[in-house]
Amino acid sequence: MRLALHAEWTKLRTVAGPLWLLLGTIATTVALSAGATSLVNCTADGCGGDTTRLTLMGVYLGQAPVAILALLMISGEYSSGMIRTTLTAVPRRVTALAAKAVALTGAVTAGGTAAVLGAVLAGRLMLPDVGDRALSLSNGPALRAVFGTVLYLILIGLLSLGVATAVRDSATSIGVVLGLLYIVPIVAQTISDPEWQRLLEKTAPMSSGLAIQATTDLGNLPISPWAGLAVTAGWATATLAAGGLLLRTRDA
């Protein structure tokens, strides 16, 4: 496992793509957060909603490069034929996948933390009074929101890795992942029955996972913050398990 991990880390480190994608995550997260923050009319009382959530909104966009990074770790190998070398070097296929997952987690932790802290910094600079209160990392809910957003990005990465292992083709995998993330919330909006709507919001990976960012009005959330993140973790686990199973049973 250590050797497999070392191999995966070397692959990740020595190709230009992953670094650019992590930089892309940071740039898009900070840019969207700053853009959204600058648009909102804030008074000394607040911004008419959850300010913490507003400043962390950048992950709506920042999760996309994370997903690409994750799925290229496996579907990139399928398209270049590298996967055969990988599986010859590490014949235990589940170990190879686990090594990829661990290496990915490390990379996304680094990039995600930078992205989220960048967004927080941007928020504090743009909303001096309100931001200090809503984004103080000594404030329990705000700390949970910031830390949880990094965890969310890691889980989105793992979910994408699982999908890509099962689907193999990169374009189709990203279609499936982005569909899971963005389309379910859109569908939930158009459904007029409130129970169905809440059910969809509770079970979709993005809307449930981002409940971790909520710091106000917790009673009215469709799902509580940590339970929401657990749902996203469930998605990541399920897709990784399905991907691992298919990786074991199929020819590479």
Partner 1 sequence: MTPTVTSHRSGQHAGRDGFLQVLHAEWTKFRTVRGWPTGMVAAVLLLLLFAVLTGISSDQNGSPPVPIGPGGEPVTDSFYFVHQPLSGNGSITVSVSALESSIPRGPGDLRPGTVPWAKAGLIIKQSTRQGSPYAAIMVTGGRGVRMQDAYVNDRPGPPGPVSAESPRRLRLDRSGDTITGYASADGAHWKTVGTARVGGLGQTAQVGLFVASPPAVEGMGTAGSVSTAVFEGLRFQEGWAGGTWTGDQVGPESPSFAGYPEDTSGSVTGSDGRLTVTGAGDIAPANRETLPTGGTLRDILTGTFAALIAVIVVGALFITTEYRGTMIRLTLAASPGRSRVLAAKAIVLWAVTFIAGLLGTAVATPLGERLAQDNGVYLFPVSSPAELRVAVGTAALLATASVLALSAGAVFRHGAAAVTAVLLAIVLPYVLTAVPFMPASAANWLARVTPGAAFAVQQTLVEYDQVAGHYTPYYGYYPLAPWAGFAVLAAYAVVSMSAAAVLLGRRDA
Site residues (CB under 8 A) for partner 1? 36, 39-41, 47-50, 54, 57, 60-61, 64, 67-68, 71-72, 75, 79, 169-176, 178-179, 182-183, 185-187, 189-193, 196
Nearer to partner 1, 65 or 112 (CB): 65
Nearer to partner 1, 5 or 62 (CB): 62
Write down the least CB distance from residue 127 to partner 1, Å. Answer: 12
Write down the least CB distance from residue 6 to partner 1, Å. Answer: 26
H/E/C letters for each residue in the chain?
Answer: CHHHHHHHHHHHHHCHHHHHHHHHHHHHHHHHHHHHHHHCCCECCECCCCHHHHHCCCHHHHHHHHHHHHHHHHHHHHHHCHHHHHHHHCCCHHHHHHHHHHHHHHHHHHHHHHHHHHHHHHHHHHCHHHHHHHCCCCCHHHHHHHHHHHHHHHHHHHHHHHHHHHHCCHHHHHHHHHHHHHHHHHHHHHCCCHHHHHHHHHHCHHHHHHHHHCCCCHHHCCCCHHHHHHHHHHHHHHHHHHHHHHHHHCCC
Write down the least CB distance from residue 113 to partner 1, Å. Answer: 22
Nearer to partner 1, 5 or 24 (CB): 24
Write down the least CB distance from residue 184 to partner 1, Å. Answer: 9
Nearer to partner 1, 49 or 140 (CB): 49
Write down the least CB distance from residue 240 to partner 1, Å. Answer: 19
Nearer to partner 1, 5 or 71 (CB): 71
